[in-house]
Structure 1
Amino acid sequence: MFRAALVSGLLALASFAGISLAPAPQDRLAPPDTIRIPAGAAHYRSSAEFRVGTRRVDPPETLLRMAAFDIMTHQVTQQDYARCVADGACVAAVTGAGESLPQTGVNWSDARAYAVWLSRRTGQPWRLPSDAEWLRAAAERGFDGALGAEGADPSERWLASYRSEVARRGEADLVPRPSGHFGQNSLGVWDMAGNVWEWTDACDEKVSLAEDGTPLGSERFCGVRVVQGKHRAFIVDFVRDARSGGCAAGIPPDFLGFRLVHDPS
Structure 2
Amino acid sequence: MTPHAETAGVSGISIALPLALLAVLSAALAIEAGFVNIGRRNGAFAAPEVVAIAPHEFQYRDATEYFRNGLAVDAPKRTAHVRMPLTIMRYQTSLSEYDSCVADGVCPEPEGRSPISGEDMPVTGVSYEDALRYANWLSQKTGEHWQLPTDFELAYAAADRFPDDALGIDADSKNPALRWLADYEREARRTASSDPAPQPKGSFGVSQTGLVDFGGNIWEWTSTCNKRIDLEKEAVIDEPDPADCGIMIAAGRHRAPMSTFVRNPKGGGCSVGSPPDNLGFRLVRRPNFVESIEDFTRRAVADMIGSANFRGVQRDDDEG
Q: Which residue of 1 aligns with 2:200?
A: 178
Normalized per residue, the structure richer in strand is 1
Q: Over aligned residue pairs, what C-alpha RMSD do you find?
A: 2.2
Report how far residue 39 of structure 1 moved: 2.2
Question: Secondary structure of the equivalent of 1:248?
Answer: coil
Whether the 8 Å contact between 1:162 and 1:250 is mirrored in structure 2 is: no
Report how far residue 20 of structure 1 moved: 6.3
Change (3 A) 1:105 1:155: farther
Runs (4+) off by over 3 Å = 18-27, 151-156
Report how far residue 215 of structure 1 moved: 2.4
Q: Which residue of 2 aligns with 1:54?
A: 70
Whether the 8 Å contact between 1:165 and 1:231 is mirrored in structure 2 is: no
Change (3 A) 1:19 1:160: same
Number of residue pairs aligned between Structure 1 and Structure 2:
244
Whether the 8 Å contact between 2:38 and 2:144 is mirrored in structure 1 is: no
Identity of aligned residues (%): 38
Does 2:263 correspond to 1:247? no
TM-score by length of 2: 0.70
* Deviations 1:66-125 (CA, angstroms, capped at 9, x unpaired): 332111110001100001111111111132222121100001000111111111111111
Mean Cα deviation higher: 84-93 or 161-170 = 161-170
Report how far residue 156 of structure 1 moved: 4.2
Q: Which residue of 1 aligns with 2:27?
A: none
Tell me the distance in 2 between the aligned counterparts of 1:39 and 1:231: 24
Report how far residue 42 of structure 1 moved: 2.1
* Deviations 1:185-243 (CA, angstroms, capped at 9, x unpaired): 22221111001111111111011112xxx723342242011111111111111000111
Mean Cα deviation higher: 88-97 or 234-243 = 88-97
Map 1:44-193 onto structure 2 (within 5 A).
44-66=60-82, 67-94=84-111, 95-96=113-114, 97-99=116-118, 100-149=120-169, 150=171, 151-154=173-176, 156-167=178-189, 170-193=192-215
Whether the 8 Å contact between 1:224 and 1:237 is mirrored in structure 2 is: yes
TM-score by length of 1: 0.84
Partner amino acid for 2:274?
A: I
Change (3 A) 1:169 1:189: farther
Change (3 A) 1:147 1:93: same
Higher gyration radius (CA) = 2
* Deviations 1:153-204 (CA, angstroms, capped at 9, x unpaired): 4464244234224335642522221111112122221111001111111111
Tell me the distance in 2 between the aligned counterparts of 1:215 and 1:51: 10
Q: Which residue of 2 aligns with 1:12?
A: none
Tell me the distance in 2 between the aligned counterparts of 1:26 and 1:136: 31
Tell me the distance in 2 between the aligned counterparts of 1:59 and 1:130: 17
Normalized per residue, the structure richer in helix is 2
Tell me the distance in 2 between the aligned counterparts of 1:255 and 1:51: 29
Report how far residue 263 of structure 1 moved: 2.9
